[in-house]
Chains A and B, each alone.
Chain A
């Protein structure tokens, strides 16, 4: 049984069908990537899976439980977390308070403190800026904060929506390293990216989204070697 199973998902904005009946799954322990050009429907997919946008048709199942209509806030307690597109850290709160917000669904105060310390260890930049208002952080620091914040709920399934967007190549490498680390520590990953090269390289499997439909799917390696994918997404 897959950890996350999306079946015939259809999502509309008014009369526009943004997602036209897609199916995909993520198994426990995998890194799965959804790649696609701007406007393909990646963010819509991620948000509808998390219950942030209503689903017109189809089902979403997580650990065998139908969560198609479950409100977002309840999913966090079940072990799902998402780093949204554009980071969306709480600008008016400090770095520390943002991390605390990430643990909102938890009650184990002592362990929350420990987890914050281990995030600080992983991200020394955040540690130095723990009492700084998040709105004053650089884009890269905000991305680290958004990722650390999502990990504060101790997710079993972490979804990331274009975490490398707008970052310098050095920071992009760092982001992918962190994703690999999260994965190594036992978190299943669903990644959405335009940066196909880097994401396919770390993926067990991947799906290519085009105009709200899945055009290809396969292992990361298969897709990297496919001529069509090379042409459309890997610049050659």
Chain B
């Protein structure tokens, strides 16, 4: 029971990050390999705001704002000039941005992990099991954010424009949609979600270092591919699936050393059975 809750909340973290990968892929048709490092940036922003003010809430707001701006700046400076360039050039640029962000934070904060002291929220007992409050909070807020995002994409003008751009950029332009603006908004949303994820991540592992984003970044990317890259509900399902499997594996002594191997095997199996991921769409190629 408590394993399930921990798994679901870790899954919510992965899902929030996976959404950033999947939305950017869907709309800008690129793999933003620096997305994981936005989590790290968010964690440092939260850390700095927390030690200088002492307020959790302020830390969250600062992390979200800082990451949102950072995401838009990265898009504008690094990716926008490459619009129309070969996918390989864009990919290599993204890897470059990833190293750049890691190096800058190492220069500023040093390579040693910084401990983030978040007051423990304790546990509650539910149906006889003791469940950590931070898991419940993560799960609840994560669910609210994802529901909000779903409604935003389905029901708002900007959200529908995002769907249109992801499906057919040229046709979207013919509707009068400013595609560059939609791409910027997508990076902003993805980065804001990553900032939320970074705070939840720190609630589980309260320490931040320059490479913090790598592992959750790769796991969330895996989740996005499992769910079907480009698909928003797919990223949610993939994230939750991966989080639950991770916590279950960790709780079984013989399996626990191989947890990461199990997760990536799942990716391989799913890709063998269904190369486009669980909810991925086959797209007709457009001229």
Question: Could you list which residues of chain A lie within 8 angstroms of chain B, going by C-beta atoms?
Answer: 47, 50-52, 71-74, 76-77, 81-82, 84, 86, 88-93, 97, 100-102, 104-105, 149-150, 153
Contact = CB atoms under 8 A, between A and B. Distances in A.
Contact of B177 (A91, A92, A104): A104
B144 interface: no
Given A93-B164, A97-B160, A104 B170 contact: no
Contacts of A50: 173-174
Given A73-B179, A88-B286, A101 B173 contact: no
Interface residues of B, number: 20
B178 A73 contact: yes
Task: Decide if the interface of chain B is mainly helix, strand, loop or mixed.
Answer: helix
A82 B171 CA distance: 9
B174 A72 contact: yes
Nearest to A75: B176
B24 interface: no
Given A73-B179, A88-B286, A104-B157, A82 B164 contact: no
A105 B170 contact: no
Contacts of A47: 170
B163 interface: yes
A153 B167 CA distance: 20
Contacts of A82: 174
Contacts of A150: 174
A88 to B, nearest CB: 4
Contacts of A71: 173, 178
A84 B164 contact: no
24 contacts: A50-B173, A50-B174, A51-B173, A52-B173, A71-B173, A72-B174, A73-B178, A73-B179, A76-B176, A86-B287, A88-B168, A90-B163, A90-B171, A91-B167, A93-B163, A93-B167, A100-B160, A101-B161, A101-B164, A104-B157, A104-B176, A104-B177, A149-B175, A153-B175
B175 A101 contact: yes
Given A93-B164, A100-B160, A104-B176, 16 more contacts: A50-B174, A72-B174, A73-B173, A73-B176, A76-B176, A88-B171, A89-B171, A90-B171, A92-B163, A92-B167, A93-B167, A101-B160, A104-B157, A104-B175, A104-B177, A153-B175
Interface of B: 157, 160-161, 163-164, 167-168, 170-179, 281, 286-287
Contact of A76 (B161, B167, B174): B174
Contact of B176 (A52, A86, A91, A105): A105
Contacts of A84: 170-171, 174
B42 to A, nearest CB: 31
Contacts of A149: 175
B160 A102 contact: no
Given A88-B170, A93-B160, A104-B161, A76 B175 contact: yes
A149 B172 CA distance: 12
A102 B286 CA distance: 20
Given A84-B170, A88-B168, A90-B171, A73 B177 contact: yes
Contacts of A97: 160
Contacts of B176: 73-74, 76-77, 104-105, 153
A77 B172 CA distance: 14
B264 to A, nearest CB: 30
B176 to A, nearest CB: 3
Contacts of A153: 175-176
Contacts of B179: 73
